[in-house]
Amino acid sequence: MPQPKKADNLIPLVEITNKDVGLSLSPSVILTEEDLHKALTRAVEYLLDKDFEKLMQILYRIDVSETKVKQAFGLEQHVAEQIAQLIIEREQQKIITRAKYKGL
């Protein structure tokens, strides 16, 4: 399960996740990474049930590892939780990379 993080680290994560996944989560409501994980898990569950193709497009656009996605789909339980975690991890990588190259 994700570890709680400080709000200043969480705001960019919520914002980029909103943009990339098409959500409208409020950084004032999402107080920890666990809150984000729960909200994202609900969104992934919905897409798994109602619009699988859109979920796959989002994962492709965000550039989540295809191998990791296949592994998550290979699980019999908690698929949505695993995919939500993969999205969060990828979004965190993007934030770190952008911060690293912002000063250049």
- Residue for token digits 């952008």? 98
What pLDDT is stored for residue 101 in this prediction?
Answer: 87
Picking from 63, 57, 53, 85, the residue whose alpha carbon sits closest to that of residue 72 is: 85
- Give the model confidence (pLDDT) of 3-57 as tens digits: 444 456 788 899 999 999 988 888 888 888 899 999 999 999 999 999 999 999 9
- Give the model confidence (pLDDT) of 57-89 as tens digits: 999 999 999 999 999 999 878 999 999 999 999
What pLDDT is stored for residue 4 in this prediction?
Answer: 43
